[in-house]
């Protein structure tokens, strides 16, 4: 491939993609394939959109604070949640709720979060977007074993010895509890925490193990952004339900103890047919006629979203931030594409609507009810002195000239343990393979090449998108990202400044079915 021009290479990649596509289904939206995944239909009648009230997750308060840090306690536990009218859904939740409680911290103020595992299976907690030392980053085999080991013991006895947990050499594990220490010496941004257990992250998040972690700082405070009731966290997750009201997920091994992955065509990704916002299906929020800050997170396992506000507000969807915090300057969009794990921080001006107007957040990549996300009912015009500043933050642009090395990684489907799975450079994830050794304090270019949609995420450090194919960065690529939305047969170049902590970290596809089916690799920093 080396002597083929990039244009020819992209053409060949597209053909190869179509060839591989046999048996790898796409969800087909109006404009063609919009997500790599397969729709899983609920076995009950879903509620009508816009009938249930919007709610934001509660903010978690520290159990104690000292000069050095704030200390938080979270119990990971099973609970019956009221998600569908008149039914109970068993969830796995941080403090028994889905989403988990929101942690709010300030730049440079360390947080220590003690997690107790009251679930039946081992867990791992990762702070997504956090610049975190290795031992608190939630390395996929650094398990917190359950307080109560009976379920695990039973399932390891019956079939776990040759595959899965029984065969796996664990990493740095603890029993029952673990304290994660987050320095949080990083820009204000919308982070999130979620489970990261090797091979079983998809089903754990599907059951509810995800929450927001917001970092604030002085730079952001000077902007006077909408706050309090006018700052809305919006975690979007698609889900499917059993007839019982429980979540439906096509695990190959429903015990979640031995064999990873999902059945049949779901290996492409699991797409739900109910759109939840903060755990509520298609909610409706009553708001003032004023400007709001929406922190939108795509926490779907595999579904890509194309967000649009209808009717279009004055100024459109004004993007002020992305995964890694504020942009240098606001960008006005008519719509915004958001891949799994990505965040967009947006200002929406509701003051231009007549009181009583129903304003809908749409998903133009979805069909039927999946083309809708939530609704706002606009109240009377209300006092609002905020205007979006022309400059938001200082961002030093990285260029190819800053880089000391260029590496290339290919994200492609392939065989994993004799079944269909997903590979990086033809390798399935193994904790023992190191794909890159990088030097802290340097910038590298990574060329990422995809066969299908792969939202590629790096731990530890954010990056900037330099190019896509032979063109520049895309319309949704501005600022510091930690996840890039790679599309079928696409090649992109990102620039990463490695800094912070020495150790072993992962990068992976954040389509969680791809991640569980081995599309993950290690880099070490030193
Ligand atoms: Cu949000 Cu390694 O993941
Ligand atoms: Cu991460
Ligand atoms: Cu992928």
With a 6 Å cutoff on the Cβ, whether 308 touches ligand 1 is: no
Closest CA to 341 of 304, 366, 367: 304
Per residue in 436-477, pLDDT (tens digit) is 999 999 999 999 999 999 999 999 999 999 999 999 999 999
Instruction: Give distance in angstroms: CA of 170 to centre of ligand 1.
Output: 19
Per residue in 170-189, pLDDT (tens digit) is 799 999 999 999 999 999 99
> Residue 476 is part of a domain; what is its CATH number?
2.60.40.420
Count H helices and E strands in the chain, helices first.
6, 38
Would you say residue 439 lies in a domain? yes
Would you say residue 15 lies in a domain? no
Count of beta carbons in the 10 Å neighbourhood of residue 45: 9
CA-CA distance, 42 to 244, in Å (whole number)?
Answer: 10
Residue 7 pLDDT > 50: no
Dihedral sign (CA 480, 482, 487, 490): positive
Residue 166 pLDDT > 80: no
Q: For residue 79, with 0-12 CB atoms within 10 Å meaning exposed, 13-18 middle and 19 or more buried, which class applies?
A: middle
CA-CA distance, 27 to 25, in Å (whole number)?
Answer: 7
Task: Show Cβ contacts of residue 233 under 8 Å, excluding neighbours closer than 6 positions.
Answer: 56, 57, 102, 190, 212, 214, 278, 295, 297
CA 108 to chain centre: 23
For position 178, what pLDDT does the model report?
Answer: 98
Domain of 406?
400-525
CB 232 within 8 A of CB 56: yes
Domain end residue (candidates: 179, 194, 221): 221
Dihedral sign (CA 185, 189, 192, 197): negative
For position 155, what pLDDT does the model report?
Answer: 86
Instruction: State mean pLDDT over 91-106.
Output: 98
CA-CA distance, 55 to 81, in Å (whole number)?
Answer: 14
pTM (2 decimals)? 0.94
Instruction: Give distance in angstroms: CA of 140 to centre of ligand 1.
Output: 10
For position 165, what pLDDT does the model report?
Answer: 59
Q: Give how many domains the chain has, as a whole number.
A: 2
Task: Show Cβ contacts of residue 11 under 8 Å, excluding neighbours closer than 6 positions.
Answer: none
Would you say residue 127 lies in a domain? yes
Ion ligand 2: residues, Cβ under 5 Å: 128, 459
Would you say residue 103 lies in a domain? yes
- CA angle 116/117/119 to nearest 5° reads 150
Would you say residue 109 lies in a domain? yes
With a 6 Å cutoff on the Cβ, whether 196 touches ligand 1 is: yes
Domain end residue (candidates: 221, 254, 278): 221
Mean pLDDT rounded to a whole number for the chain: 93
pLDDT category of residue 40 using cuts at 50, 70 and 90:
very high
CB 190 within 8 A of CB 345: yes
Would you say residue 280 lies in a domain? no
Q: From atom 1 of ligand 1, which residue's Cα is the shortest distance away? A: 128
With a 6 Å cutoff on the Cβ, whether 115 touches ligand 1 is: no
pLDDT category of residue 32 using cuts at 50, 70 and 90:
low
Half-sphere exposure of 420 (CA within 13 A, CB side): 18
Domain end residue (candidates: 201, 221, 241): 221
Token output for 237:
């997750």
With a 6 Å cutoff on the Cβ, whether 213 touches ligand 1 is: no
Q: Calculate what percentage of the chain has a pLDDT beyond 70.
A: 92
Query: How long is the chain?
Result: 526
Token output for 215:
């970092």
The radius of gyration computed from the CA coordinates of the chain, to the nearest angstrom, equals 22
Would you say residue 282 lies in a domain? no
With a 6 Å cutoff on the Cβ, whether 468 touches ligand 1 is: no
Residue 2 pLDDT > 80: no
Would you say residue 338 lies in a domain? no
């Amino acid at each position: 491939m080396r002597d083929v021009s990039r244009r020819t290479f992209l053409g060949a990649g597209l053909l190869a993609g179509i060839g591989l596509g046999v048996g790898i289904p796409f969800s087909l939206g109006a404009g063609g394939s919009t997500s790599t995944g397969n729709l899983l239909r609920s076995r009950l009648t879903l509620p009508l959109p816009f009938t249930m009230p919007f709610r934001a997750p509660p903010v978690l308060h520290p159990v104690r604070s000292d000069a050095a840090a704030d200390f938080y306690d979270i119990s990971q536990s099973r609970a019956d949640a009221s998600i569908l009218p008149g039914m109970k859904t068993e969830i796995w939740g941080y403090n028994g709720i889905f989403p988990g409680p929101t942690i709010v911290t300030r730049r440079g103020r360390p947080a220590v979060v003690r997690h107790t595992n009251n679930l039946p299976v081992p867990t791992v907690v990762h702070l997504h977007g956090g610049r975190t030392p290795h031992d608190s980053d939630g390395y996929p085999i650094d398990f917190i074993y359950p307080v109560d080991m009976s379920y695990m013991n039973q399932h390891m006895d019956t079939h776990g010895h040759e595959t899965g947990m029984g065969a796996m050499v664990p990493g740095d594990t603890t029993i029952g509890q673990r304290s994660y220490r987050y320095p949080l010496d990083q820009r204000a941004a919308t982070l999130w925490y979620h489970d990261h257990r090797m091979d079983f992250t998809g089903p754990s998040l599907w059951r509810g193990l995800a929450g927001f972690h917001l970092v604030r700082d002085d730079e952001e405070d000077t902007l006077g952004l909408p706050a309090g009731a006018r700052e809305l966290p919006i975690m979007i997750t698609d889900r499917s339900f059993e007839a019982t009201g429980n979540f439906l997920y096509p695990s190959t091994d429903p015990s979640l103890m031995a064999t990873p992955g999902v059945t049949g065509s779901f290996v492409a990704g699991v797409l739900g047919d109910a759109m939840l916002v903060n755990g509520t299906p298609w909610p409706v929020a009553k708001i003032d006629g004023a400007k709001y800050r929406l922190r939108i997170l795509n926490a779907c396992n595999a579904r890509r979203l194309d967000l649009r506000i209808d009717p279009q507000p004055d100024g459109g969807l004004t993007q002020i931030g992305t995964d890694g915090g504020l942009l240098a300057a606001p960008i006005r969009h008519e719509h915004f594409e958001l891949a799994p794990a990505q965040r967009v921080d947006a200002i929406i001006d509701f003051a231009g609507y007549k009181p009583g107007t129903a304003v809908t957040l749409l998903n133009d990549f979805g069909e039927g009810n999946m083309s809708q996300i939530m609704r706002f009912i606009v109240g009377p015009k209300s006092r609002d002195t905020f205007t979006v500043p022309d400059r938001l933050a200082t961002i030093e642009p990285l260029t190819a000239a800053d880089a000391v090395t260029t590496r290339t990684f290919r994200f492609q489907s392939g065989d994993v343990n004799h079944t269909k799975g997903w590979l990086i450079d033809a390798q399935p994830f193994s904790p023992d393979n190191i794909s890159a050794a990088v030097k802290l304090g340097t910038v590298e270019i990574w060329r990422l090449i995809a066969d299908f949609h792969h939202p590629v995420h790096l731990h530890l450090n954010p990056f900037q998108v330099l190019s896509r194919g032979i063109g520049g960065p895309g319309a949704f690529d501005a600022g510091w990202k930690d996840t890039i939305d790679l599309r079928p047969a696409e090649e992109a170049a990102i620039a990463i400044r490695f800094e912070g902590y020495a150790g072993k970290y992962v990068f992976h596809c954040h389509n969680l079915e791809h991640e569980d089916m081995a599309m993950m690799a290690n880099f070490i920093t030193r």
